[in-house]
């Protein structure tokens, strides 16, 4: 009888434990969808094909076989299925935030300040971004930012690790594009070590220019926000939940890129090797 009671106790504890673990991850699909829309993840994922196309335009000017390079790029672009990569990110979000954390994030993202900030950040995805940004840069030459503005913008870029996170995304897309071309051209004899060397050189060359670009773009995007509002926005990412959100968000996008590259390479191998 004692053994039976002990067994019931163990079963009860196991059920209670699994129930707690299950409820801790019970973030609804609607909350995740709202989070991805409000946080800007959806916009970031939608913008990846444009980055790939921009790289393709540069490669077309130097490649020995533009027709084959375009064919590879078409396969890469076709492998980027938005709903599939969104699912990868959403599952990562579900696995790494608790219900309580998600509710706090949604409360923050639905605040007036956060909504205005995210609307401002959406300017980076607008079709007229390049034209608007260049026009703003011309204005900035005659009316430079104040010392206070320079300070809060630089602090924001540093606190959010904006350069590092952006560089990782760019390098992931670049690696996927380069490796796709290598799969299509196995006879070139380029190995993983050479690709890594090329990627390292590219990263070293890009980092200073990207840092400058991120700072200048931040001036443009947050132009209508006050220094106090930018400081408040920065403070959120200095808190534990804000730091965690940055890590989860960019790691989720990284997983989506890995999923895309795996699918793309399979398609490229089927097209060029088999």
Q: What is the pLDDT of residues 210-246, one digit of tens each?
A: 899 999 999 999 999 999 999 999 999 999 999 999 9
Task: Tell me if 7 is assigned to some domain.
Answer: no
Window from 50-64, 100-114, 119-133, 254-268 with minimum mean pLDDT: 50-64
Task: Tell me if 177 is assigned to some domain.
Answer: yes
The number of domains in the chain is: 1
Global pTM reads 0.75
Task: Tell me if 18 is assigned to some domain.
Answer: no
Model pLDDT, residue 273: 61
Task: Tell me if 43 is assigned to some domain.
Answer: yes
Structural domain for 47, as ranges: 28-272
Residue with tokens 């300040």: 113
Task: Tell me if 20 is assigned to some domain.
Answer: no
Model pLDDT, residue 2: 47
Is pLDDT at 14 greater than 50 in this prediction?
no
Quick one: which of 161, 173, 243, 253 has its CA closest to 207? Answer: 161
**Residue pair 233/152 in contact by the 8 Å Cβ criterion:** no
- The length of the chain is 274
Q: How far apart are the first and last CA of the chain?
A: 67
Task: Tell me if 2 is assigned to some domain.
Answer: no
Model pLDDT, residue 181: 64
Task: Tell me if 4 is assigned to some domain.
Answer: no
Residue with tokens 């870029």: 157
How many C-beta neighbours within 10 Å does residue 100 have?
A: 10
- Six token digits for residue 232: 């408040």
Q: What region does 145 belong to: left with phi over 0, alpha with psi -120 to 50, or beta? A: beta
Report the chain's mean pLDDT, rounded to a whole number. 83
Q: Model confidence at 193, in pLDDT bands (50, 70, 90)?
A: confident
Residue 46 burial (10 A CB sphere; 0-12, 13-18, 19+)? middle
Cα–Cα dist 92/188, whole Å: 37
**Residue pair 254/70 in contact by the 8 Å Cβ criterion:** no
- For residues 156-173, give the mean pLDDT: 86
Window from 9-13, 173-177, 268-272 with minimum mean pLDDT: 9-13
Write down the number of H helices and E strands in the chain: 13, 0
Residue 245 CB partners (closer than 8 Å, separation 6+) = 39, 105, 237
DSSP character string of 106-153: HHHHTSHHHHHHHHHHGGGGSTTHHHHHHHHHHHHHHSPPPHHHHHHH
Task: Tell me if 117 is assigned to some domain.
Answer: yes
């Amino acid at each position: 009888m004692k053994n039976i009671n002990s067994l019931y106790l163990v079963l009860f504890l196991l059920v209670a434990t699994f129930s707690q673990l299950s409820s801790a991850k019970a973030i609804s699909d609607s909350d995740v969808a709202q989070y991805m829309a409000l946080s800007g993840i959806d916009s970031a994922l939608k913008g990846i094909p444009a980055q790939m196309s921009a790289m393709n335009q540069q490669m077309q000017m130097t490649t020995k076989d533009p027709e084959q390079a375009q064919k590879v790029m078409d396969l890469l672009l076709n492998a980027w299925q938005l709903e599939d990569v969104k699912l990868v990110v959403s599952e990562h979000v579900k696995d790494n935030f608790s219900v309580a954390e998600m509710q706090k994030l949604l409360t923050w993202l639905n605040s007036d300040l956060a909504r205005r900030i995210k609307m401002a950040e959406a300017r980076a995805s607008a079709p007229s971004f390049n034209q608007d940004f260049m026009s703003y840069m011309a204005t900035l030459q005659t009316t430079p930012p104040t010392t206070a503005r320079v300070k809060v913008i630089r602090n924001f870029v540093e606190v959010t690790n904006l350069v590092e996170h952006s560089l990782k995304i760019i390098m992931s897309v670049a690696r996927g594009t380069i490796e796709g071309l290598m799969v299509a051209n196995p006879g070139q004899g380029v190995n993983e070590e050479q690709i890594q060397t090329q990627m390292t050189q590219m990263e070293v060359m890009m980092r200073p220019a990207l840092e400058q670009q991120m700072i200048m773009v931040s001036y443009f995007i947050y132009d209508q926000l006050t220094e106090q509002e930018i400081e408040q926005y920065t403070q959120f990412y200095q808190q534990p939940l804000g730091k965690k959100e940055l890590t989860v968000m960019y790691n989720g996008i990284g997983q989506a890129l890995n999923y895309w590259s795996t699918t793309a390479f399979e398609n490229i191998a089927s097209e060029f090797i088999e």
